[in-house]
Structure 1
């Protein structure tokens, strides 16, 4: 066999072997890409995204789209070829696997965390929207979670309403910890609660639950703990349901809040324009940053968005690569977002606060 032919065959076999290794070798990376967008004013899966009953609603037009990012699953392991393709591509982002899934977090735990964050974002969206409309929202302190194998397991349950601790009325979640830590480990704490099932039925009957405190296991000064996380449950004056499956995380809060305000007020806030956006929101209406902003702007523009409501803390990153035809609008609060929508509706684009790279 001629030496040249032998060399060519050897090189080809080596290349094939290297390619096989690249295809079979898992890489410690995950991939993010633009996900679907959903109009909070419209339907999804055959039913309205926002369903409001017990209060007058009004017709809406245009789009107020929440945006998403697709990510590879916690159990998926990219190979080297996929990682390289992702790095080269414009519409994907390759990140370290532990960035999305902290080491040791299972797929089930990741899904649970995303679901909890999504539920909380919906709750805060409702609160901030109703506060903006001066509609009163009351609240009460509840058992948010019970730590496994803790002193409270089997005695207190998630959803129990905490009325008092040792006879002292509880008005905020922080009150619970303050009252518990007045004890020494091994002492009893008396919780006055409305059990979860009774609370759901709007039965106000209370019961007393005695929990023996234990010594805290974390670093620092020893203190008494009972193994619960106190939380807040808001009581809304009418029903607001957000119907959107297979979505997780907190980043749709702003767009849900705007959609609720639009449906509860006469006229429409968009003037028929296609507005998309993202951002967490808290009960006071403050908008917070999110991840994957560049992918969300790509996804929004791909669906036809003309304007993108962008959290102020994400502006610099988003401005580095703005999809053609998309205007980024900087917002820090729900008030900022509503003011921007007024200008968009009136075609006053010069009045819109824009995002810059610095």
Structure 2
């Protein structure tokens, strides 16, 4: 009896294997659909644009570096700065499927979102910070190039931000230069902030300000700091900027960040001095820069080297702090040159041409 019943049931029930495959197929489809829309807190980095500081920016159709009022010297080589592009931000997050796909791509790197976007900051705020960092990098690169040429530069304190709801709002503007506090000369940020610390909330302070070349005075009432009530502030962000004897404009379009400093400084130095650093070669690189020419490490070195090699570079200038990672990921045909300072980078490029002197490698 049992055997007869089992035979009848097998004839009426669906094939168990077919049912299992159907269930698995449905689950895979559901997982695929979920992966296509499920956001993950990661960002995918990829090689970005690389632009020649000695040439024309195709985005703006203007020379990337424009110097007016000074003699410049043309060079037919390349001194390219490199960038990293990314996919995924707090407003448009990367999907699970996108993260897995890019993780398998050797030219890309998938990193935690907080690497690019700190907690509490929107994509727009990060972009604004990167734009400000690019502006600072440009100004510092001019100062570094001029210092390399033997110029002695001074600094001045400039308003780079005004806080909403604070005394300075509507009175001070970005770009204002503060030259005195209550009649006492103060031209550097440390001097100005030091004087302002002497005031209490409710007290008035008169600032001497230069705007569009014209001097004016503005009287403000100090307010309590929102987070430190015992501290009085006017609500401005100040930064020391170099007083530059030449007019330099950089047409970089919508590219942000500080990592082009070294290549900007080399480009400016090359344009302002006779002879050629490149010897017609395609040289690229990366690194932040200080006024005294110190080169700092950056992020995304792998993607920047790939972008440079794909564009045709044969030499790549690397900050010392990035050398270990660069050695592990250098594309074939790209010579890595360690650039500790602007001066060492200049000497390395000269040595590559004439075969004299050392060219430090990573």
TM > 0.5: yes
In 1, the alpha carbon distance for the partners of 2:104 and 2:303 equals 15
In 1, the alpha carbon distance for the partners of 2:70 and 2:27 equals 71
Q: Rg: which structure is higher?
A: 2
Residue of structure 2 equivalent to 1:38: 51
Residue of structure 1 equivalent to 2:207: 191
Q: What are structure 2's unaligned runs of at least 5 residues?
A: 1-13
Given that residues 53 and 79 in structure 2 are in contact (C-alpha distance below 8 angstroms), is that contact kept between their aligned partners in structure 1? yes
Shift of 1:87: 1.6
Given that residues 205 and 221 in structure 2 are in contact (C-alpha distance below 8 angstroms), is that contact kept between their aligned partners in structure 1? yes
Given that residues 136 and 237 in structure 1 are in contact (C-alpha distance below 8 angstroms), is that contact kept between their aligned partners in structure 2? no
Query: Is 2:39 the partner of 1:26?
Result: yes
Moved more, 150-159 or 246-255: 150-159
Shift of 1:73: 4.7
In 1, the alpha carbon distance for the partners of 2:122 and 2:166 equals 22
Query: Is 2:249 the partner of 1:258?
Result: no
Residue of structure 2 equivalent to 1:100: 116
Shift of 1:184: 2.2
Q: How many residues align?
A: 346
Given that residues 273 and 345 in structure 1 are in contact (C-alpha distance below 8 angstroms), is that contact kept between their aligned partners in structure 2? no
Residue of structure 2 equivalent to 1:76: 92
In 1, the alpha carbon distance for the partners of 2:124 and 2:88 equals 10
Q: What are structure 1's unaligned runs of at least 5 residues?
A: none
In 1, the alpha carbon distance for the partners of 2:343 and 2:227 equals 41
The alignment yields a C-alpha RMSD, in angstroms, of 1.8
Which residue of the other structure, out of 69, 81, 85, is the alignment partner of 1:66?
Answer: 81
Residue of structure 1 equivalent to 2:358: 351
Query: Is 2:72 the partner of 1:52?
Result: no
In 2, the alpha carbon distance for the partners of 1:121 and 1:273 equals 25
Query: Is 2:294 the partner of 1:278?
Result: no
In the TM superposition, structure 1's runs of 4+ consecutive aligned residues that sit over 4 Å from their partners are none
In 1, the alpha carbon distance for the partners of 2:17 and 2:198 equals 85
Aligned with 2:248: secondary structure?
Answer: strand
Which residue of the other structure, out of 176, 195, 205, is the alignment partner of 1:179?
Answer: 195
Alignment CA distance shift 1:142-1:47 (3 Å): closer
Given that residues 142 and 232 in structure 1 are in contact (C-alpha distance below 8 angstroms), is that contact kept between their aligned partners in structure 2? yes
Query: Is 2:183 the partner of 1:167?
Result: yes
In 1, the alpha carbon distance for the partners of 2:173 and 2:254 equals 27
In 1, the alpha carbon distance for the partners of 2:36 and 2:262 equals 41
Which residue of the other structure, out of 231, 244, 256, is the alignment partner of 1:236?
Answer: 244
Query: Is 2:301 the partner of 1:293?
Result: yes
Aligned counterparts, 1:68-147, within 5 A: 68-74=83-89, 75-147=91-163
In 2, the alpha carbon distance for the partners of 1:288 and 1:40 equals 19
